[in-house]
Amino acid sequence: MTSPQPPAPADRRRKHTIYHGHRRASPHRPTVRGGLLTHLRTTSPRPHPSPSSSSSAAATTTVPFRLPDWDPSSPSPSPPSPPTPSHSTSAASRRLSPLARFLLDALRRHQRWGPPVVADLSKLRRVPPTLVAEVLSAHPPPPPPLALPFFHWAGRQKGFRHCFPAFHALASLLSAAGLPAAADQLPDLIRAHGKPVSHPQLTLLVRLHTAARRPLRALYTLRRFRHEFSVQPQVHACNRVLGALAAAGHVEDALKLFDEMSEGGVRPMPVTFAIIVRALGHAGMTERILEMIGRMRDEVCRPDVFVYTALVKTMMRRGHIEGCIRVWEEMGTDGVEPDAMAYATMVGGLCNAGMVEQAAKLFEEMRKKGLLVDRTVFASLVDGYVADGRVGDGCRVLKEMVDAGYRADLGTYNTLIGGLCGIGREDKAYKMFQIILQEELVPSSETVSQLLVCYADKGEMIKIFGLVDKLVELRLPATDYLVDFLKLFACKDGRELKAVEVFDTMRQRGYYSVSTYNIIIENLLKIKERKKALLLFEEMQGSDDCKPESCTYSHMIPCFVEEGNIEEACSCYNSMMKAEWIPSISAYCSLVKGLCKIGEINAAVSLVTDCLGNVENGPMEFKYTLTILEACRSKSPEKVMKVVDEMIELGYSVEEIIFCAIIYGFCKYATSTEARKVFSVMRDRNIISEANFIVYEDMLNEHLKKVTADLVISGLKFFNLESKLKWRSGID
């Protein structure tokens, strides 16, 4: 017989066993749904103590932390009863284990490292390395001010050794937070923990830096691993760095890395040569390209048609047409047969470069070889022929394209219409327009504007408005198309007055807008017809549907300044300020110059600061104005002359605002004597003439009187003596 077992101690707790699946719950077996450890709960509720006993117990003892009672969606660290799962919990957090969610909840709740965070983390008996990696790689991860102390706190556990996933997760977290220098310390951290540094760490850092577009830092990491940690990079990591360097335009660094790969015994792959060749194509280094193709042929394999096509396309985009031709000849020498894509790329590049005859030869060569000639090849030839003035050949290519079963797009038709209008064949251009309508294409502004310009040159107003009526019939924005037509028509010299006649006829038919007024006003001011521009501006002011806008006022401010009407120019500026519009740079410059001429120095300087505050890149003269004002603070004429000398050395003219800034700055921060010294030095060095010296000296005296008068009036107002000033002036 066996002796009876001694009874278990009363304080010994039975270990909980977690079963996956749907099982009947018991007091010692919590329910777990589907194997996903989310919310653990026990079915048997604990007995609720009486209020008196609970209050006395709370005063003497604290409730121990129990993981099955903790809910990560609850803000409190240990809720008294397990609440229902929150629907706001993200899908990423649901994929974490309960312990990882508990740790993240503790870190995010306190927001900064300190004893409360350590107290919450210490509730767990032990944090294993896999749990540290899971917390650091969570989405969203904890911020670096919490992640780093947590990483070090976990490492101080007895017998604890961080795993490589934890190191990698920490480096990814630091890189994503914009701390690449801290992420680069990953190998030092691994070596400090007694672990070997290997190639996976290099691959990780290279991937992080290249993904964040930091190619030079990735190159530094590659070299550091090789020299400092004796980790020879593999070809895939080198390819990634080469691609990043080439994309960023660091061609020389990419070539140096390629040479270092050969010296280090890293055998390049075909894709390695392809990356280098494309980088050289971007830089237009034809000789180096041919040399690299030869090395690729000798060391790895013969470059295929895809490498050559990519190289030709890259060089075409950069405009290295001569290099493209040499690479094309090298492809034939190498025995590589170009495909349809290679031909299409080469034909398009030659047409864009104006070499239509060579493109036509390649086009015929494509046909002889039986390659598929797609619509882009036909369109490129049409553009090339029209640009070369051979509109008839362009129409012939269009007919061949239609016979081949292709439909021309609107861009091809627009090119031909422009070419036909350029040689005076507007009748055929209008037939092309009718073909566009038959093809159910929507005519664009470019389509219509070229026809309208051709009609306007010949004064055929009936045809102009016949075409406009057709646009209205098609429910197209005829007014917007007319705006583009006027821009195209009036931009050429000698058509400004004819554009006014066309505009008058359009206005009689009701086809006008604020934009059309602005175009005509701008072109009238270009030919110094300010009187007509003023009449149109007055007409806009009296109109109900064409009120002046920002562009109108920006045109009229220089007009009023040139007419000598500074008050009206200032009125236009004030109207723009009320409407919260920003004047153009030319309007600012013109108004400042006008204010300087009439001696309104305070207003001119104020306008300069307003311009630099509103315009992204203001005039350099305005920037130097503020520099001179800052130099006047030092009360040193020598510093002001240094700024003037710098302007002259850089080729900037010394405008009126510069002299006004000297007067304003010295009168405000020093005395008028320093300003006179600067003007004397400028006169002695022939920067200003004797006549201008007298003008600016008189301007200085007038400004000094205004400043003195303003100070007197301000003092009277301060002492409340303004009424006596008025009474005294009345006696006089």
Concatenated DSSP letters of 491-547: TSTT-HHHHHHHHHHHHHHT---HHHHHHHHHHHHHTT-HHHHHHHHHHHHT-SS--
Question: What's the predicted TM-score (pTM) here?
Answer: 0.66
pLDDT of residue 215 exceeding 50: yes
pLDDT at 722: 59
Q: CA nearest 577: which of 616, 626, 610, 604?
A: 610
Q: CA nearest 112: which of 145, 148, 154, 142?
A: 145
Please, which residues have CB within 8 angstroms of residue 352's CB and are 6 or more apart in sequence?
Answer: 316, 380, 383, 384
Q: Is residue 149 included in any domain, yes or no?
A: yes
pLDDT of 98-127, one tens digit each? 888 888 888 888 878 888 888 888 888 888
| Integer Cα distance of 590 and 593 in angstroms | 5
Q: Is residue 722 included in any domain, yes or no?
A: yes
Q: Which of 386, 408, 430 is the last residue of a domain?
A: 408
Q: Which of 357, 386, 408 is the last residue of a domain?
A: 408
What is the token pair recorded at 538?
């007055």
Q: Is residue 296 included in any domain, yes or no?
A: no
| Integer Cα distance of 71 and 41 in angstroms | 10
Mean pLDDT of 29-37: 41
pLDDT of 174-200, one tens digit each? 999 889 988 999 999 888 888 899 999
pLDDT of 272-290, one tens digit each? 888 888 888 888 888 888 8
Q: Is residue 465 included in any domain, yes or no?
A: no
pLDDT of residue 51 exceeding 80: no
**Helical packing angle, 620-633 and 637-650, nearest 10°:** 160
| Integer Cα distance of 190 and 379 in angstroms | 60
pLDDT at 330: 85
Average pLDDT, the chain: 82
Mean pLDDT of 513-539: 91
- For residues 206 and 1, the model is more confident at 206
Range of the domain at 172: 105-196
Looking at residue 67, what DSSP letter applies?
Answer: G
pLDDT at 592: 93
* Contact between residue 280 and residue 296 where contact means Cβ atoms under 8 Å apart: no
pLDDT of residue 24 exceeding 60: no
Residue 249 belongs to what H/E stretch? none
Looking at the structure of the chain, the number of domains it has is 3
- For residues 670 and 630, the model is more confident at 630
| Integer Cα distance of 305 and 699 in angstroms | 75
Q: Which of 196, 221, 237 is the last residue of a domain?
A: 196
Mean pLDDT of 608-618: 89
Give percent of the chain above pLDDT 70: 84
Q: Is residue 608 included in any domain, yes or no?
A: no
pLDDT of 329-387, one tens digit each? 888 888 888 889 999 999 999 998 889 999 999 999 999 988 888 899 999 999 999 99
Q: CA nearest 241: which of 203, 283, 278, 274?
A: 203
* Contact between residue 126 and residue 157 where contact means Cβ atoms under 8 Å apart: yes
Q: Is residue 26 included in any domain, yes or no?
A: no
The mean-pLDDT minimum among 4-13, 45-54, 579-588 falls in 45-54
Q: Is residue 225 included in any domain, yes or no?
A: no
Q: Is residue 68 included in any domain, yes or no?
A: no
